[in-house]
Amino acid sequence: MKKLITLLVVTLSLVVGAAQAAGQTIKADINGMVCAFCAQGIEKKMRALPQAKDVYVNLKHKVVAVELKDGQTLSENAVKELVKDAGYDVTSIQTVDQTVAQIKSSIGKN
């Protein structure tokens, strides 16, 4: 019984550790982003956010991802407003438990 409990505790700590390592990222699909200048402008606005740890903008797939610093929060509405103020539309948005590097890697495979 002690071995089973120890195994469960170790497994749970590994799962929790993996989830924390993944980070929290807001990922949005953008409509209207058609050139490198557009992508650069959105990236600059997102990097200026104090909560942003890393930012990824993919022009081909029209995706913007903002990875948050540990302990920081940012509402999806705040991201939508920034994109709207830049002159673009958010077609979908979600908060994911992935890093920018993981998103970049998965998009690069498509």
Going along the chain from its start, the domains and CATH numbers come out as 23-108 (3.30.70.100)
Q: What is the pLDDT along the chain (110 residues), one digit of tens a residue?
A: 444 343 333 343 333 343 344 579 999 999 999 999 999 999 999 999 999 999 999 999 999 999 999 999 999 999 999 999 989 999 999 999 999 999 999 987 66
Task: Indicate the pTM of the whole model.
Answer: 0.76
The pLDDT assigned to 9 comes to: 37
Instruction: Return the HEC string of the chain.
Output: CHHHHHHHHHHHHHHHHHHHHHCCEEEEEEECCCCHHHHHHHHHHHHCCCCEEEEEEECCCCEEEEEECCCCCCCHHHHHHHHHHCCCEEEEEEEECCCHHHHHHHHHCC
The pLDDT assigned to 21 comes to: 44
